[in-house]
Amino acid sequence: MTRGGAVAVVGGGIIGLSIAWRLLRGGADVVVLDDGEPGAWFVAAGMLAPGGEAAYEEPYLARLLELSNERWPSFAAELGVDVGYDDAGTLSLAMTADDLADAARVWTRQKLPLLRPSELREREPALSPRVRAGVYAAAERQVDPRRVVAALRERLAGRIVHKRIDELSEVDAATVIVAAGCGTAALTGLPVRPVKGQVLRLRGEPGLLRHVLDAAVDGRHVYLVPRRDGEIVVGATQEERTDRTVTAGGVHDLLRAALELVPDLAECSLVETTVGHRPGTPDNAPLLGRLGDDGRVIVAAGHHRNGVLLAPITADLIAGLVLDGVADPLLDHFAPGRF
Amino acid sequence: MTRGGAVAVVGGGIIGLSIAWRLLRGGADVVVLDDGEPGAWFVAAGMLAPGGEAAYEEPYLARLLELSNERWPSFAAELGVDVGYDDAGTLSLAMTADDLADAARVWTRQKLPLLRPSELREREPALSPRVRAGVYAAAERQVDPRRVVAALRERLAGRIVHKRIDELSEVDAATVIVAAGCGTAALTGLPVRPVKGQVLRLRGEPGLLRHVLDAAVDGRHVYLVPRRDGEIVVGATQEERTDRTVTAGGVHDLLRAALELVPDLAECSLVETTVGHRPGTPDNAPLLGRLGDDGRVIVAAGHHRNGVLLAPITADLIAGLVLDGVADPLLDHFAPGRF
């Protein structure tokens, strides 16, 4: 399908690189055009969590998330280096009675058995005694997005060009894949909006936490993603804002919820405070597929909170579309032109 | 007194530089030996607060603090550049009934009239309505220590040598002044211990705060020092620790107290998190004067929380000792050998 083998991917984030890697392995002559600005992957914690409330409201999105989650083990293995893929699983937790009432609806649908505080602390000794209930989601794992991007960049050595694209007409290629995250809006006119997230990185003794913790703490959602080396990612605010400011209020709210959940985090060092922007869409499902009639432009963007999780399935679907000219029926539900 | 005019000051922090500047103006041939590590001044907020509880327990320290505070306006003016000297004064505040009971003892001794919440918010509109009471201390001002050090360095251009001193015998000078902060312990054997302080710097709209705010918030002491350019320094933890770790707990506690005091700070950006070590002594009063019998070594260290405030009087007393050979009687109470 690609004339002269020429495919250009606009955007060198985790989506663009994953697609380019699959294309390269499929024999395409691919180049990634990247503006050098770290995307949402740089801030993301890397939770691979196909469950959660949104999925139930969008069954096709739920299916996409599940499929991609199933592909992560082989995707990580094929990268050939340690990308922090960790299958210890997630404890989903509720701190107050109100938090529990909210969470229980999701847990019931997930058919996960409720664990009592003593059972939770057996699994995760550092948890506050105030945690009221939780469930163990074995299928919700983690990966380190910074390691994934580094591995993908290595696989694509020589194929990544540092260039900022302002108009798709600047791109000289038979096929152009727009995987530009929030930048996709300006390039295509599609409704991708930035959803600001503030994220902290702490560092403590390795082993302080064993699982990903995903919790509601007095009505506030917080997650803690512990890496094997002692790093603990704490996220994230969700703000409909475009600025890049780390705010006193954002950092305070994250630290408060994290410390209420795991008091021993107080002694950890606070090593990084960052801001990223999730590429949101009107229904918060991604935009995947051809744009316009000439077949030249393909979009893979708008992954909102699920960019890391959805990288493998996005790469496979888009590579299939380019290499074989076949649109998987699943793509119908994520057509960029649906709005 | 100085043979060949040769005076070496070990330590290029605010104390060492202030002494060297006074000596240079007095005609001494002075050199500052500095290891390049920023001292406590880099982290310090620059509150010039001679009041407070400690002063009443140590009448001679109270006198020293008062005298130095009186000298700050001319000290700042003589530096010839804007060092952020600001005489808007301090609001000392109490959030809860317990905070008020504690603070009232100090305020009564200071003979400052109690201000009601409405009077406080008239002076400082951004204050939380939860603030229970406070006083206005007109004599407690602020300066920006980073600007002061920059100005002093300029005044001493060509006289500052980047050199780490491990033993005083390495210093080839007729008179050696040890103004090495926490490093004074290793150089002299004197009991100077590091008292860790974590300090934040926020940035918001200039004018959000008008005064220095010095508050007790649910038993926790916090101060907010607003600069004219919108920077707000938030300090400080007091920890008997030597590490340089910015901790999740430290940042959380400072932000919580600051946001309870001034809720609008939530929107400010968090631009800096730093750790410094105050040079504490057994009685937390400084060590000022000759060490040993040969008269070669003079100490000016151990200023604990008052290094910025005490810089002018320390410089004058030590310069007088070196240039005129006269020990001001005030120095008797701060003799380095008193322990």
Instruction: Give the CATH number for residue B237.
Output: 3.30.9.10
**Does residue A48 share a domain with residue A22?**
yes
DSSP A2-26: -GGGEEEEE--SHHHHHHHHHHHHT
Q: Are residues A131 and A148 in the same domain?
A: no
Output the DSSP codes for B253-271. HHHHHHHHH-GGGGGSEEE
CB contact under 8 A, B270 and A246: yes
What CA–CA distance (Å, rounded) separates B194 from B192? 7
pLDDT-derived band at A198, boundaries 50, 70, 90: very high
Question: Prior bond to B94 cis, omega within 30?
Answer: no
Looking at the domain assignment, is residue B83 inside a domain? no
A236: preceding bond cis by omega (within 30 degrees): yes
Q: Are residues B274 and B296 in the same domain?
A: no
A2 in a structural domain? no
Clarify whether residues A203 and A62 are in a common domain.
Answer: no
Alpha carbon distances (Å) from B48 to B123, B209, B212: 20, 17, 10
- Is residue B19 situated within a structural domain? yes
Q: How far is it, in rounded angstroms, from Cα A321 to Cα A315?
A: 10
| Cα within 13 Å of Cα(A232), Cβ side | 32
Instruction: Confirm whether B158 is domain-assigned.
Output: yes
In the chain, the amino acid numbered A249 is G
Name B222's bridge partners: B215
**Residues A88/A92/A95/A97 CA torsion (nearest 10 deg):** -150
* Digit-coded pLDDT (tens) for B296-326: 999 999 999 999 999 999 999 999 999 999 8
**Going edge to edge, which strands form the sheet with B287-291?**
B160-162, B29-34, B6-10, B175-178, B297-301, B287-291
Residue A1 belongs to a domain: no
Beta strands in chain B (DSSP E): 6-10, 29-34, 47-48, 90-94, 133-137, 141-142, 160-162, 175-178, 193-203, 212-217, 220-226, 231-235, 269-280, 287-291, 297-301
Confidence tier at A55 by pLDDT (50, 70, 90): low
Q: Are residues B261 and B286 in the same domain?
A: no
N-terminal to C-terminal alpha carbon distance within chain B: 27
Q: State the nearest Cα–Cα gap between A143 and chain B, in angstroms.
A: 23
- Does A268 contact chain B (CB < 8 Å)? yes
Under the banding of pLDDT at 50, 70 and 90, the label for residue A292 is confident
Q: Are strands A6-10 and A175-178 parallel, antiparallel or unpaired?
A: parallel
CA of B22 vs chain A CAs: smallest distance (Å):
40
Least Cα distance to A236 among A219, A259, A220, A218 occurs for: A220
What is d(CA A242, CA A244) in angstroms, rounded to the nearest whole number?
7
**pLDDT at position A53, please?**
57
Contacts of residue B47, defined as CB under 8 A and 6 or more positions apart, other chains included, come to: B90, B140, B142, B212, B214, B223, B225, B308, B309
Judge contact between B161 and B33, C-beta under 8 A: yes
Q: Say how many domains are in chain A.
A: 2
User: What three-state secondary structure class fits A126?
Assistant: coil
Same domain, B58 and B70: yes
Residues A187 and A55 in one domain: yes
How many angstroms away from the CA of B264 is the closest CA of chain A? 9
Judged against a pLDDT cut of 50, whether residue A5 lies above it is answered with no
Nearest CB neighbour to A252, from listed B245, B256, B273: B256
In a shared domain, residues B169 and B38: yes
Same domain, A115 and A228: yes
**What is the overall mean pLDDT for chain A?**
94
User: Are residues A270 and A295 located together in one domain of the fold?
Assistant: no
ipTM score of the complex?
Answer: 0.90
Residue A117: CB atoms within 10 A of its CB come to 16
Query: Containing H/E element for A320?
Result: helix A307-324
**Best residue in A202, A231, A255, A267 to probe B by mutation, most B CBs within 10 Å?**
A255
The pLDDT of residue B52 is 66
Give the model confidence (pLDDT) of A210-247 as tens digits: 999 999 999 999 999 999 999 999 999 999 999 999 99
Q: Which domain range does residue A325 map to?
A: 7-77+144-192+281-338
B2 assigned to some structural domain? no
DSSP B181-212: GGGHHHHH----EEEEEEEEEEE--TTS--SE
Q: Which residues make beta-bridge pairs with B226?
A: B232
Where residue B44 sits, what CATH number does that domain have?
A: 3.50.50.60
Asked if residue A125 belongs to a domain, the reply is yes
For residue range B60-119, list pLDDT tens digits in order: 999 999 999 999 999 999 999 999 999 999 999 999 999 999 999 889 888 999 999 999
**The two three-digit tokens of residue B85, written as one number:** 């000297």
Low-confidence stretches of chain B (pLDDT beneath 50): 1-5
B218 and B272 both lie in a single domain: yes
What local confidence, expressed as pLDDT, does residue B51 receive?
80
Please name the residue of chain B whose CA is at the shortest distance from the CA of residue A234.
B248
Amino acid A4: pLDDT: 39
Q: Which of B246, B248, B266 sits opposite A248 (nearest CB)?
A: B266
**How is residue A270 written in tokens?**
């606070």
Final residue in a domain of this structure, among A228, A253, A278: A278
Whether the CB-CB separation of B200 and B270 falls below 8 Å is answered with: yes
- Whether the per-residue pLDDT at A268 is higher than 70: the answer is yes
Domain end call among B260, B278, B296: B278
Let me know: does B241 contact B196? Beta carbons within 8 Å. yes
Total number of residues shown for chain A: 339
pTM, entire model:
0.93
Query: Is B247–A259 a contact, with Cβ atoms under 8 angstroms apart?
Result: no
Query: Does residue B291 lie in a domain region?
Result: yes
Residues B264 and B198 in one domain: yes
